[in-house]
Chain A
Amino acid sequence: EAGVAQSPRYKIIEKRQSVAFWCNPISGHATLYWYQQILGQGPKLLIQFQNNGVVDDSQLPKDRFSAERLKGVDSTLKIQPAKLEDSAVYLCASSFAGSRSYEQYFGPGTRLTVT
């Protein structure tokens, strides 16, 4: 089966610019996650969707970050305006819904550099 797709794979922008990332989860996976992974740290959950509803966005910096999952399939994560500290790998993952023990499947990530 096809895995989780993300684009772009790399992005370099200047601070105060905006950027958007796209994720296409595995077909049939109702739960979708966006993580931020700063160099040397573990993935930090930014937002979790189940279908097109938000399960948790407590760690999403809402003054600059936004995410949506229209129609409960693809998702986009946007940063506007970007700061230097947003430089990180942004990971998208998906899983089946309904059990805490379900495995998450990760995409390849988007490496963002803010200069």
Chain B
Amino acid sequence: AQRVTQPEKLLSVFKGAPVELKCNYSYSGSPELFWYVQYSRQRLQLLLRHISRESIKGFTADLNKGETSFHLKKPFAQEEDSAMYYCALTGGSYIPTFGRGTSLIVHP
């Protein structure tokens, strides 16, 4: 069975501080990993996926197969980063699993 764990329900930081949203997964094969974001009153949307290896809005995420983690990082948080962040995994069966989400609040 595949599982995604986001240990923090809430992460509160000040503007300009570094941010790390944790995501750990359980999957026996080679997973496809994603971060989705939901801003206030907007739809859930893709932020980034590990296969792209790109930085979006200053966020990066590295797949660490040894630690089975895919943490989302940003060196300097901005107020507009405040949102719900969901880590998701798609396994070999093409079935997606989402974590419970972390609410990021960036204070001015």
Chain A residues within CB distance 8 Å of chain B: 3, 31, 33, 35, 40-45, 48, 55-56, 91, 93, 100-101, 103-109
B28 contacts the other chain (CB 8 A): no
A to B CB contacts below 8 Å, 11 in the list = A3-B43, A35-B98, A43-B98, A45-B95, A48-B95, A100-B32, A100-B94, A101-B49, A104-B36, A107-B43, A109-B43
| Chain B residues, CB < 8 A from A105 | 45
Chain B contact patch, size range = 20 to 34
The reply on B93 being an interface residue by CB < 8 A is yes
A101 to B97, CA, bound (A): 13
Smallest CB gap from A42: residue in B:
B98
In the bound complex, residues from chain B placing their C-beta under 8 Å from that of A93 are 44
The reply to whether A106 and B44 form a contact with Cβ atoms under 8 Å apart is: yes
- Residues from chain A with a CB closer than 8 A to the CB of B34 are 103
Contact call A55/B94, Cβ cutoff below 8 A: yes
A91 touches B44 (CB 8 A): yes
Q: Is the CB of A104 within 8 A of B95?
A: no
- Does B100 touch A at the CB level, under 8 Å? yes
Residue of B whose beta carbon sits closest to that of A48: B95
